[in-house]
Structure 1
Amino acid sequence: MTEYAEITYAVADRIATVALNRPEARNGYTVRMADELAEAFDRADNDEEVRVVVLTGEGRDFSVGADLSQGGFDFDAEQGPDPQWQEPAGRCSKRIFLMNKPVIAAIRGAAIGGGVTITLSADYRLAATDAKFGFVFVRRGIYPEGASAWFLPRLVGLGRAMDWMISGRVFDAEEAEAAGLVHRLHPPEELLDRAYELAADLAANTAPVSVAVTRQLLYRMSSMDSPFPVHELDSKLIAGIMHNPDSVEGVLSFLQKRQPEFGLKVNADLPGYLPWLRE
């Protein structure tokens, strides 16, 4: 069992909960936290018993962003990083991007800087009505990270992303929801319950291989220059459903008015021709 110092990890009812766990520092983001988060998402993705991940934070805030008191980065300041070095927020956001399992971010209190960019690749962002967001990098003389310049415009449009990132202003949960950054708002005391309700529905009613393929189809194919390569891949996928036991089970469970029992496994049964599997 992996031991973590700055996050917690628990699994119950096919749902993994990953929680930032530095409440005394308002979950200030560190290099160690980044690496622990990446490892925890690896762990959840490789566990066939886990169907959904809930990402949250202990205490009153999700994360106030980089903890600048922790001594900088994990490379020598004089020598600089090696060419393969990756900044800490992207270690988490890119790992979530690669997930085969849906990820629900449950955000209350402050989600600032890296505290919001690490959530941009999640499938859902549920927020408490007391949440505050900010891409404050320009107000600190630094730069957007976590690949947020790629993720954010796809969520809220280029114009709104420019406003938030060029001004660096902090904005409230209502503005975040109206722009599409947040899917739904809930009272703070109800936020986690609503996140687990959503996670339970996904775990009970969706096929894990179908979810994994669909999630990556949206991320990988929605920015293509035309629909033709997307439809080419769609056609291969649809042609295979005649021999797909999950497809048979999905239809039978619907006709028989019962819960489906999907048997295919993400780690063994993804179609081998998916172009992103080469990564």
Structure 2
Amino acid sequence: MDYRQPQWKSNQYSEISGIQNMANLELLRQLPLKETDNVLDAGCGDGKLTFWVAQQVKKGSVLGIDSSPSMIRLCNEKLKETSVPATFAVMDLTDVDFENRFDLVFSNSVLHWVKETGRVLEGLYKSLKPGGSMGLQFPLLNALHPFTAACQQAVRNLKLEKFFEDWEFPWYVPAPEEFKQIFSRYGFQKTKVYVKSPAIDFESSAKLFKSFDSAGLDLYTQRLPDTLQERFKQEVFSEVEKMKENGRLMVRFERIYAFGYRKI
């Protein structure tokens, strides 16, 4: 396993995951979903999308997997209140070992956490039935991403570079053409790979900061002494404040989308 995920705060994540859900709309509208499909949600998080898909496949089923036990507990609590054909399991994407089981596999905002990308894509490909389809999307957390930019600037402002001298960048950030080649290399056919950068209008700096704090910010603060962690967060918040233009906080999040099929 080679996940670099922080400690997920499941309830908070559920509250602020609107960015991911907006990206889901772009993903979902291109998936050939049928009501008889057996579907795998690879990295289901709090299960919002899993439950929506389950409502569409009333004669099929959905399996949601995630490496976070707290997320799966949250999903199973929600499942008690519904009668949709969904199940959930704790599973790392690098451990996916299904054979010819699913008509459709999708993954939302997960692959950037995985260094063993080839192993994951190979496992997901094998889990598809012949002719089955795959769709995924994930953010490109490069130096231009607002979260990464704010954190890196905070490190410089506070002169904390010494704490990150041997730090390995935790996110997978491929070039689109590179990812298209990788996607095809593991068997996917009729591939389509592209990047979109939608602008998100946040209500407040606090809401944008909360979205950072719920996920990747821990990967920075855990490198720092306890006495500096809160100061670092304050500095990141200050950088978020600087993103405002004319009183509005309009931020672009670059994401890569990829679609393909298993050979019949």
Which category of TM-score, normalised to the shorter sequence, fits these structures? under 0.3
Structure richer in helix, relative to its length: 1
Structure richer in strand, relative to its length: 2
Taking CA–CA contacts closer than 8 Å with sequence separation of 6 or more, which of the two structures ends up with the larger relative contact order? 2
